[in-house]
Amino acid sequence: MKTAIVIGGGPAGLMAAQEMSAAGVEVNLYDAMPSVGRKFLLAGKGGLNLTHSEPAGVFNARFGPRQTQLAEMLQTFGAAQVRDWAQGLGVPTFVGTSGRVFPCDLKAAPLLRHWLHRLRHPQAGGKPVTFHMRHKWTGWGQGDGSRPCVHFAAPQGTVQAQADVLVLALGGGSWSRLGSDGAWVPGLRERGVDVAPLLPANCGFDVRGGWSTHFSERFSGQPFKSVAIRWAGSQDGALLERKGEFVATATGLEGSLVYAASRWLREEISRLGSATLYLDLLPALSAQRVLSEVAHPRGSRSLSSHLKSRLGIDGIKAGILHELLAKDAMHDATQLALAIKSLPITLERARPIDEAISSAGGVRFESLTAGLMVSGLPGVFCAGEMLDWEAPTGGYLLTACLATGRAAGLGAVAFVQAEGR
């Protein structure tokens, strides 16, 4: 009987196990945590965003430099297939007003529960998946020398396991408390695997020089709503403009709008030491309209009252103007109107990777075959966030983890079924 080891109980590892189990492969899945899918469950706390309903071309472009490598996998297991898969587990989905796709009950736990039941009790022809919790991968074993062999630190001591194929789905470097700690990097590099450094993605940033104590204490944790950001690359002329919201932190910025720009901001900071984005506090109004309202005579009213009554600017929006503009600029209608529409905010560093939603870097596709097998390591496959790709939030991360997990599982099945195996 053909056998497989999967290391990692996140979406990619579970999907790889599903494909191999369905093909009649005996699968043993190992994970360092007490239970599988911990990051998956955390992602579902605010309503599990499974995927996105936008056209495939737009969807694929979200993966930036790695869209070519992911295109075929997403074509065969993209948004539509994710919805069909969830429906097949008894979890219907719906498309929200933003185009994002969610389970109808907005919960991750029922989907994971149904999925694990299917893995343990597969349909006709499949083999049940066996789960081994609290088994942390510690390195390579020798075994009989003909098949992948690995060691684990387990409650009962060191455990060695060997199988016909090994699928690594070890996650990236964010959320180490949930198991994605990047500790696997040295073990792959010692086997000659080309691994790009793990970096924070979908992350917050610190502003240059930090906020003043007044701004930090008063506005940390508060959102900027109905705003837009613009970023223009200094090197390649790239331009990003997007509306939405984000949050002020004690040291800088985080939230969906900032996450959407995080790859470009991180790379700009790496090249130049800082990156500047431009904040439009009133994207619904033209620059001319804003100037007209700012310049309108205010009589005896204070500037704060004037901005609130004429433009609805108060709270954190007024606070950041006072934080970043000199006093004379605040009282110059032209400079103030320009700042309201295009306020420069300079960022000097990304927040630490363990605070990030996801990570960039990982096993480069150039080290893998089309079936995601590691070149030079027959029978060893990689999947999920440990691969060198990144994407914004919005269902793209989970979809790509599922798609690469499926591809690795299918690649492993093809390997064990090849003539002479």
Residues with Cβ < 8 Å from 10, sequence gap 6 or more? 36, 37, 39, 40, 169, 171, 179, 180, 384, 385, 401
What is the C-alpha to C-alpha distance for residues 283 and 285, in angstroms, rounded to an integer?
5
What is the C-alpha to C-alpha distance for residues 172 and 174, in angstroms, rounded to an integer?
6
Indicate whether 305 and 320 sit together in one domain.
yes
Consecutive 10-residue averages of pLDDT for the chain (421 residues): 95 98 97 94 86 96 95 96 97 95 94 97 93 96 87 96 97 87 94 96 97 97 96 72 95 95 94 95 97 92 93 97 95 96 97 94 96 96 97 95 98 86 55
pLDDT at site 238: 67
CA distances, 246 to each of 86, 87, 161, 255 (Å) = 30, 33, 46, 4
Indicate whether 326 and 284 sit together in one domain.
yes
Give the domain range for residue 149.
Answer: 3-200+358-417
- For position 129, which CATH number holds? 3.50.50.60
201: β partners: 358
Amino acid making up residue 216: S
Q: Which of 328, 350, 372 is the last residue of a domain?
A: 350
Q: How many domains does the chain have?
A: 2
Indicate whether 99 and 143 sit together in one domain.
yes
Indicate whether 26 and 165 sit together in one domain.
yes
Indicate whether 300 and 220 sit together in one domain.
yes
> What is the reported pTM?
0.93
Indicate whether 238 and 120 sit together in one domain.
no
DSSP string, 349-390: EEPPGGGSSEEEEEE-GGGB-TTSBBTTSTTEEE-GGGBS--
As a whole number of angstroms, the longest Cα–Cα distance in the chain is 90
**Residue 251: both structure tokens together:** 């040291």
Q: Which of 324, 350, 376 is the last residue of a domain?
A: 350
Indicate whether 15 and 80 sit together in one domain.
yes
pLDDT at site 419: 52
Indicate whether 41 and 86 sit together in one domain.
yes
Indicate whether 152 and 289 sit together in one domain.
no
Contact 356, 203 (CB under 8 A): yes
Indicate whether 286 and 309 sit together in one domain.
yes
Indicate whether 99 and 170 sit together in one domain.
yes
What Rg value do the Cα atoms of the chain yield, rounded? 25
Q: Which of 330, 350, 370 is the last residue of a domain?
A: 350
pLDDT at site 44: 79
CA atoms within 13 A on the CB side of 75: 7
DSSP state of 45: G
What is the C-alpha to C-alpha distance for residues 346 and 99, in angstroms, rounded to an integer?
31
Indicate whether 286 and 311 sit together in one domain.
yes
pLDDT at site 407: 98
